[in-house]
């Protein structure tokens, strides 16, 4: 049976931090099952005090948006300012700080719809630039996904992590008409 529920997007709030953590945990488990541990490691976000604080900050910060099928959260988007580990913007922008979707609903365009929502938010704010960064290791599948959504790879970067392998990243930008 095909799921006929309509995808909606609503602003998130402080009570949604656990939803973000659940989505991150499920995505991490899926990546681990694929043997792709370089992006988010192997441990659930919900057991990491740093990730819990990050999810709580996102949920309380005004930039969280949740994708829902019916009443079921199937994706999360966080927008705001660029992170400190990427090159600063050269003009006003909206930055995608997080995009995560429930892999149980893969192939339904949820990530692309959340990115389209981010573009709408940027336009509403009079901004012409939307940027994002992503993991660029392994097969660079995430880079390809963002490029398929209209982004262009700009600045590669590396996050040094003491006691762990460096994290290869890629900034991508999308000009908004």
């659930």: which residue's tokens?
Answer: 44
Mean pLDDT of the residues in the chain: 94
| Tokens standing for residue 128 | 């012409």
Range in 18-22, 53-57, 75-79, 141-145 with the lowest mean pLDDT: 141-145
- Domain tally for the chain? 1
Range of the domain at 100: 7-175
Q: CA-to-CA distance for 91 and 84, rounded, in angstroms?
A: 16
Looking at the domain assignment, is residue 152 inside a domain? yes
Looking at the domain assignment, is residue 33 inside a domain? yes
Q: CA-to-CA distance for 174 and 150, rounded, in angstroms?
A: 6
Looking at the domain assignment, is residue 82 inside a domain? yes
pLDDT category, 3, cuts 50, 70, 90?
A: low
Looking at the domain assignment, is residue 75 inside a domain? yes
Which sign does the torsion angle of CA 145, 91, 93, 96 carry? positive
Looking at the domain assignment, is residue 1 inside a domain? no
Looking at the domain assignment, is residue 2 inside a domain? no
pLDDT category, 129, cuts 50, 70, 90?
A: very high
Looking at the domain assignment, is residue 80 inside a domain? yes
| CATH code of the domain containing 160 | 3.40.630.30
pLDDT category, 162, cuts 50, 70, 90?
A: confident
Nearest to 75 by CA among 37, 107, 35, 33: 107
Stronger pLDDT, 81 or 161, i.e. the higher one: 81
Average pLDDT over residues 135-154: 93
Q: Does residue 111 have a pLDDT over 70? A: yes
pLDDT given for residue 4 in this prediction: 58
- 172: Cβ–Cβ under 8 A, 6 or more apart, which residues? 131, 132, 133, 134, 143, 146, 147, 151, 152, 153, 154
Average pLDDT over residues 13-38: 95
Looking at the domain assignment, is residue 32 inside a domain? yes
Q: Does residue 1 have a pLDDT over 60? A: no
Average pLDDT over residues 40-68: 96
């Amino acid at each position: 049976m095909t799921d006929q529920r309509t995808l909606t997007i609503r602003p998130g709030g402080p009570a949604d931090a656990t939803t973000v953590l659940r989505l991150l945990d499920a995505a991490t488990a899926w990546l681990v099952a694929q043997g792709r541990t370089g992006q988010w490691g192997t441990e659930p976000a919900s057991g990491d005090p740093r990730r819990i604080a990050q999810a709580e900050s996102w949920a309380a910060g005004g930039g969280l948006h949740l994708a829902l099928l019916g009443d079921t959260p199937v994706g999360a988007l966080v927008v705001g300012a660029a992170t400190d580990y990427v090159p600063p913007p050269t003009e006003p922008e909206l930055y995608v700080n997080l995009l995560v979707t429930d892999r149980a609903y893969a192939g339904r365009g949820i990530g692309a719809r959340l990115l389209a929502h981010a573009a709408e938010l940027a336009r509403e704010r009079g901004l012409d630039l939307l940027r994002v960064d992503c993991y660029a290791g392994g097969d660079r599948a995430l880079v390809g996904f963002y490029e398929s959504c209209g982004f262009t790879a700009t600045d590669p970067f590396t996050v040094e992590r003491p006691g762990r392998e460096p994290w290869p990243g890629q900034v991508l930008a999308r000009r908004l008409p």
